[in-house]
Amino acid sequence: MSHSLPHRARRGLSLIELLMFIGIVSIALAALLRVFVQSTSASADPVLRRQALAIAESLMEEVQLMPLTWCDSEDATVDTATSAAGCTGAADAIGPEAGESRTTLPSFDHVNDYHGFTMNGITDLTGAAIPGLAVYNASVAVAADTLHSITAASGDALRITVTVTGPGGTSVVLQGYRSRHAPNASL
């Protein structure tokens, strides 16, 4: 007596079943691979955005740490003037004074000197290019603005807007404020 299985149970997969299996697995793998490719290609975007944000935050901090006085820093009454009328020379205005720059002497010495400042490729305070950041650009705008009870007309509050652009259409806009306070506040 033979213990062999019936002919139908021993045969395995037919060629058609094998081809269908390969086709279904191929479609599933292609879909899975597409998901991996999309997630991998998009994973660099957060790095670019984070780098642009770090540049914007650094430049914003640099600007906000500058003094906001009524008079230019060379004016004898810079520390005591409580209005533009208290300056012995001209009052400090929006934008840099003639010859001032961020990286050379005479250098920026007020918040509002940064108005209109641009960098094509990010540099440090000496003007040296920072490696790896040549593809980023930054610009700064400074304008009088209303801040709570401080009116824009008083000139005691400035809105600082830092815009950084980078590769792949990356763009970050950061806004902050700098207010005039003692000893030069008119409040």
State which amino acid sits at residue 49. R
Write down the pTM of the prediction: 0.74
**d(Cα 94, Cα 97) in Å, to the nearest integer?**
9
Q: What percent of the chain has pLDDT above 70?
A: 88
- Helix (H) / strand (E) element for 174: namely strand 171-179
Segments of the chain scoring below 50 in pLDDT: 186-187
Q: How far apart are CA 30 and CA 33, in angstroms?
A: 5
DSSP string, 18-55: HHHHHHHHHHHHHHHHHHHHHHHHHTHHHHHHHHHHHH
Per-residue pLDDT at 187? 43
